[in-house]
A and B are shown apart, each in its own frame.
Chain A
Amino acid sequence: MNYDFNFSVIWRNWELLAQGLGLGLFLALVSIAIGCGIGLLAAFGMLSRHRVLRWIAVAYVSAIRNTPILVLILFCYFALPQLGIALDKIPSFIFTLSIYAGAYLAEVFRSGLVALPKGLREAGLAIGLTELKIKIHIIIPVMLRNVLPSLSNNFISLFKDTSLAAAIAVPELTFYARKINVESFRVIETWMVASLIYVVACYVIAWFLRQLEQRLAVPR
């Protein structure tokens, strides 16, 4: 193979790549925040005593988990407007990614809830707390601390999934990489650098999340 590496076009466009990375992180952060809310509701739904709630939650989780994320993205962006729900590219993608994250987190939260000793709830009842206050002050904070490592993994997956937003022209890292590639024909350099940025970003995020896990862990 005879190939002259030339990275200059990449360096010239570093600002675009940085912007793209920033947007990807932003999309993942917003989506996991909304996804946590959805996931909590769905997890409590799956464990509910009411059959209808249980059924709705289970249907949501299995429908989303069994659909490829790219299909979800395209469905929300192209099909929903036909049904009267038109969202811009970025809100549409955040909507999709949140729904998607919610379904996966629902499973994480559900197993976290099931694993809690039932004495915690009873101890809350015994000091006169209502079920809602027990959830807010005891069950959810303890469960979240226990599932924090899975939450971190989910966040990293989600961040990588933001590259799929390029499919609907959301200007994140992959979108700009493709743009640079098309304009410069420096195929190898472009995709090498893009991959490298993802790898480094994921490592940094993982390191940061581990620090967070240690700070929030229950001391023992």
Chain B
Amino acid sequence: MSPILTITDLHKSFGDLEVLKGIDMTMQKGDVVSLIGSSGSGKTTLLRCVNLLEDFERGSIELDGEAIGYRHEGSERRRLSERHIARQRAMTGMAFQQFNLFPHMTAIRNVMLGLTKTKKMAKDEAYAIAEKWLERVGMIERRDHFPGQLSGGQQQRVAIARAIAMNPRIMLFDEVTSALDPELVKEVLAVVRDLADDGMTMLLVTHEMRFARDVSSKVVFMHHGRIHEEGPPEQIFGAPETDRLRGFLANSEM
């Protein structure tokens, strides 16, 4: 089976600061990969590169066999057109730490916007799909509420529905519970777990170690812009090989 995501020798700098120093990674359909590591290790940047929210200078990312973001003409590397990149972005779904719901739209219109404006679906078709996903994340009764009228956990569930309604090949979760009050974390993690159980391919950046251990098929520990150690969760959490990872885990809440 060909991988759904292939990252090869990915390099990314912000000015003089190199935050990704050659990342290689592959994911198969249905994989759930958790990126862990201290802040500044490059895990969020890696996730944002996959969604082309960040440019990268070297290396390549292939999504379902298609090179994203850039094309090569001989030895020249060119950024794809905005329209092309927009289409590729829609192949990935992203949930953000700060939810980023559109504040002037109800929950269901938030979910519908990408369907009607990117996928050019008819309104009623988009409405039906949006209803289906709001139902799935337990937000159907709040479909006509505005983001300002919802709790953080509820907003995040709507944001996840908005991303996944686009039918992405892979879902990206960027610390989706970090901005939440502790009592709201559980309801969001339950939604993520439900999607994982359903076979959704997912790449997530998380600080919830116990959750990463439960839900992941693979855990990747990043340090200073490199993959420092990776493996199945039992190995990463049960028998870490490097001192660095042991030190990181000792300082994390389990």
Q: Do A and B come from one complex?
A: yes
Cβ proximity bits A198-220 to B, threshold 8 Å, 1 near / 0 not: 00000000000000000000111
The listed residue (A120, A122, A125, A129) touching B117 by CB distance below 8 A is A129
Assess A133 versus B102: contact at CB under 8 Å? Given A123-B96, A220-B149: no
A122, B100: Cβ atoms closer than 8 Å: yes
- Do B86 and A125 touch (CB < 8 A)? yes
Interface string of B101-129 (1 = CB under 8 A from A): 11110000000011001110000000000
Q: Which of B52, B89, B96, B103 has the most CB of A within 10 A?
A: B103
Number of A interface residues in the complex (CB < 8 A) = 22
Question: CB distance A218 to B86 under 8 Å?
Answer: no
* A117 CB within 8 Å of chain B: yes
**A137-B117, A145-B104 in contact; A130/B82 too (CB < 8 A)?**
yes
Is B162 part of the binding interface, using a Cβ–Cβ cutoff of 8 Å?
Answer: yes
The reply to whether B96 and A142 form a contact with Cβ atoms under 8 Å apart is no
| Given known contacts A123-B101, A126-B89, A128-B90, A220 and B148 CB-to-CB distance under 8 angstroms | yes
**Chain B residue with the shortest CB-CB distance to A139:** B102
* A127 near B146: Cβ-Cβ < 8 Å: no
Docked Cα-Cα span, A152 to B235, in Å, equals: 62
Q: How far is the CA of A141 from the CA of B98 in the complex (A)?
A: 20
* Chain A hits for B98, CB < 8 A: 117, 119
Among A117, A120, A124, the most chain B Cβ lie within 10 Å of the Cβ of: A124
Most A CB contacts (10 A, CB to CB) among B86, B93, B148, B159 go to B86
CA A125 to CA B48, docked complex, whole Å: 11
The docked-state distance in angstroms from the alpha carbon of A141 to that of B110 is: 14
Contact with B along A124-153 (1 / 0, CB 8 A): 111111110100011001100100000000
Q: Bound complex: CA of A128 vs CA of B103, how far in Å?
A: 18
Q: Which residues of B contact A137 (CB under 8 A)?
A: 113, 117
Q: Are A141 and B162 in contact (CB under 8 A)?
A: no
The interface residues of chain A lying within 8 Å CB-to-CB of B149 are: 219-220
* Most chain B CB neighbours (cut-off 10 Å) among A125, A133, A141, A142: A125
A141–B109 Cα gap in the complex (Å)? 14
CB distance from B139 to the nearest CB of A (A): 16
Known contacts A137-B113, A137-B117, A218-B103: A130-B86 contact under CB 8 Å = yes
Size of chain B's interface in residues, with CB distance under 8 A? 31
The interface residues of chain B lying within 8 Å CB-to-CB of A119 are 96, 98, 100
B-facing residues in A151-209 (Cβ within 8 Å): none
Q: A126-B163, A129-B118 are in contact. Are A138 and B102 (CB under 8 A)?
A: yes
B83 contacts the other chain (CB 8 A):
yes
Which of A119, A126, A129, A219 is most buried by chain B, counting CB atoms within 10 A of its CB? A126
- With A128-B114, A129-B114 in contact, is A219–B100 under 8 Å at CB? no
B202: interface (CB < 8 Å)? no
**B89 near A125: Cβ-Cβ < 8 Å:** yes
Check B102 against A130 for contact (C-beta < 8 Å): no
Report the separation of the CA atoms of residues A53 and B117 in the bound assembly, to the nearest whole angstrom.
Answer: 28
Cβ–Cβ contact A219 & B163, under 8 A: no
Known A119-B96, A128-B86, A130-B86; contact A142-B166, beta-carbon cutoff 8 A: no
Say yes or no: A218-B104 contact (C-beta < 8 A), given A119-B98, A128-B90: yes
CB of B45 within 8 A of chain A? Answer: no
> Given that A125-B86, A130-B83 are contacting pairs, would A141 and B104 also be in contact in the complex, using a CB cutoff of 8 Å?
yes
| A127 to B100 Cα, complex, angstroms | 12
In the complex, which residue of chain B has the Cβ closest to the Cβ of A118?
B100
Determine the chain A residues whose CB is within 8 A of the CB of B83 once the complex forms. 130
Q: From residue 151 to 173 of chain B, which have CB atoms closer than 8 A to chain A?
A: 159, 162-163, 166
How many angstroms from the CA of A131 to the CA of B86 in the assembled complex?
9
Question: Besides the contacts A126-B92, A130-B83, what 17 more A-B pairs have beta carbons closer than 8 Å?
Answer: A119-B98, A123-B101, A124-B102, A125-B53, A125-B89, A126-B94, A126-B96, A127-B90, A127-B163, A128-B87, A128-B114, A129-B117, A130-B82, A141-B104, A218-B148, A219-B146, A219-B148
The 4 closest A-B pairs by CB, nearest first: A128-B90, A220-B148, A127-B114, A123-B100
Report B's interface with A, CB cutoff 8 A. 51-53, 82-83, 86-87, 89-90, 92-94, 96, 98, 100-104, 113-114, 117-119, 146, 148-149, 159, 162-163, 166
Interchain Cβ contacts under 8 Å between A and B, 17 examples: A122-B100, A123-B96, A123-B100, A123-B102, A123-B162, A125-B51, A126-B94, A126-B96, A126-B163, A127-B114, A127-B162, A127-B163, A129-B86, A130-B83, A137-B117, A218-B104, A219-B146
